[in-house]
Amino acid sequence: MNFTIPKQLGRFLVTGGAGFIGSHLVDNLLAAGAERVVVVDDFNDYYDPRTKWQNIAAHLGNTRFRLEAADIRDRDRLNKLARDERFDCIVHLAARAGVRPSLTEARLYQDVNIGGTLHLLEMARQQNCRHFVFASSSSVYGPTAAPPFREDAPLMPISPYAATKAAGELMAHTFTHLYGIHAVCLRFFTVYGARQRPDLAIHKFARSIAARQPIPVFGDGSTLRDYTYIDDIQQGLAGAIRYTAEGATPFEVVNLGESQCISLNRLISVLEQALGEKAILHRQPEQPGDLPLTHADISKARRLFGYAPDTAIEDGIANFVSWMRWRDHKAQAA
């Protein structure tokens, strides 16, 4: 993957930069020569915060890197950070994640995902930072979108999480219209790879299969997902950053997926092959809020960013399993 950044964008703020996608972005920005990378992350207990610290540990001594352990709901902390630092580009990845938890914690999701996004857009406006990249989600489409999902399809979110992501897109659009910010909203399609959150299906399934424990399978396994490998997502993020700098249009919504549908049953089969173990299935009812299908039309990303995902699910899963085993071995040796 060739990750390059425009010369005029040297100073980056990455929210959620200690998480799965964010920590990979931080790695790539620093490797590409970014002058300054500031991470805001609250290290909440949605999953073990030590995992996030491990994700960024290699950068803590880097003079071009700064970590601000803060909540994006905390306007005072963000205002102080804005006084201390100047940013050429804000990449806003921080969010309360997950469809299912949002069903019981809707207010929390509203406060973090909508309120926090507004705070970041206000920071961009106050700093005259004209380049803003926002992490949205394929879940905004809802169950009625015709595959492959095009960015101009009507949105019908069916979970609080999805609704907050759709609201974030609208907020970004409003700020581009009012204040001249260039914003790209990226709709991620089921991202996986090294450092994936432990609550997500691929990670959870892999650990359970390896331990010969049952895995929960909601429905009959026929649901289809567009699984997107982390390196391909990073390629798309680099394209979005370059696109805002080139200033072609002030606002775009762009899908980032692999543009291939894999059934849950097929995913389990690929995991079995990579792990060398047979899965024990625990069938459960379908879950409210889950989509039966996600499938990205990536023609817009190809046109605007030169986006060209090329990781087959078999290769991506094999890479993930290798990382998981490496990390477990490292933990045992510590």
Catalytic residue list: 161
Q: Are strands 131-137 and 89-92 parallel, antiparallel or unpaired?
A: parallel
Burial 70-90 (b: 16+ CB within 10 A, else e): bbbeeeebbeebbeeeebbbb
| Four-residue CA torsion sign, 122, 119, 170, 191 | positive
Backbone angles phi, psi at 284, to 5 degrees: -135, 165
In angstroms, what is the C-alpha Rg of the chain? 19
d(CA 257, CA 187): 8
Task: Give the pair of three-digit tokens for residue 104.
Answer: 């019981």
Residue type, 10: G
Residue in the structure block whose two tokens are 């549908």? 261
